[in-house]
Amino acid sequence: MHVLIVHAHPEPQSFNAAMTRTAVDTLEANGHTVEVSDLYAMQFNPVAGWHDFPQAADPSFLHYQREQKIAFERQTYAPEIAWEHDKLTRADLVIFQFPVWWRSSPAILKGWFDRVLGVGFAYGAGRVYSTGGLQGKRALLSVTFGGPTSAAEAAEVLQQLQDGVLAFVGFEVLSPFVVGGPRHLTADARQAELQRYHETLEALTCDRTPPGQCHQRAPLVHDALEQA
């Protein structure tokens, strides 16, 4: 399996960063390949605009969706968008790792959705939900909340993103992995949450792992003192 992790947190020592490193280690130890779009490290620009379309079809009026469709057909997207398309195309599983800010993703990830999941590539001409452009791929939201969060509350907050965005473009959307308020946890409890994430990913990817490797545990080496 090939996995893309889209990571959106400004602090490399954060608990979110520890989660992404845990995922990389776990997946690679189980024989999968992984690449990470670390949006802050990439200085990804989340603002949809003319810069997406170096060869805009109609420079007199920015009709964003129409330009998306044309840029996809003519392969004239800005490289930073085309690269993300390539990463998605390669991936069997996409993990979105982020802290929930204002009941949603940080803006840097919202802009990744705005710019990358464009008409033509991700949906359009009736290609939505089961026939969306990302069909055949799985998506997992792996998120932290600022405080303790019930499964029902998390489901409500993440619903538009899971159903209205990810399922809409064809992903099979997995149950989200939620950590409530890592900053308020003890170091041991944070370590336990990383272990839970490790086990969740092992179970998740087990059925697609080469035989014999499925129950091989990856060591957990990350410092659970890292905070959200």
Q: Is 227 in the site for a copy of itself (CB under 8 A)?
A: yes
CB of 183 to a copy of itself, least distance (A): 8
* 50 vs 129 by CB, closer to a copy of itself: 50
Q: Is 6 helix (H, G, I), strand (E, B) or coil?
A: strand
* 51 vs 196 by CB, closer to a copy of itself: 51
How many residues touch a copy of itself under the rule CB under 8 A: the total is: 36
Residue 94 near residue 16 (C-beta atoms within 8 A): no
* 26 vs 97 by CB, closer to a copy of itself: 97
CB of 33 to a copy of itself, least distance (A): 28
Q: Is 11 in the site for a copy of itself (CB under 8 A)?
A: yes
Backbone angles phi, psi at 133, to 5 degrees: -65, -20
Q: Is 215 in the site for a copy of itself (CB under 8 A)?
A: no
Q: Is 31 in the site for a copy of itself (CB under 8 A)?
A: no
Burial class (CB in 10 A: 0-12, 13-18, 19+), 61: exposed
Query: Can you tell me the distance from the alpha carbon of 31 to that of 116, in angstroms, rounded to the nearest whole number?
Result: 28
Name which position in 74, 90, 103, 196 contacts a copy of itself (CB under 8 A). Answer: 103
**DSSP per-residue letters across 90-132:** H-SEEEEEEE-BTTB--HHHHHHHHHHS-BTTTBBTTB-GGGS
Q: Extract long-range pairs of 159-163: CB within 8 Å, 24+ residues apart.
A: 160/104, 161/104, 161/105
Name which position in 92, 114, 172, 195 contacts a copy of itself (CB under 8 A). Answer: 114
Q: Is 146 in the site for a copy of itself (CB under 8 A)?
A: yes
Applying CB under 8 A, the residues found at the interface with a copy of itself are 10-11, 13-14, 40, 46-50, 61-65, 101-108, 110-111, 113-114, 117, 146, 157, 160-161, 164-165, 183, 227
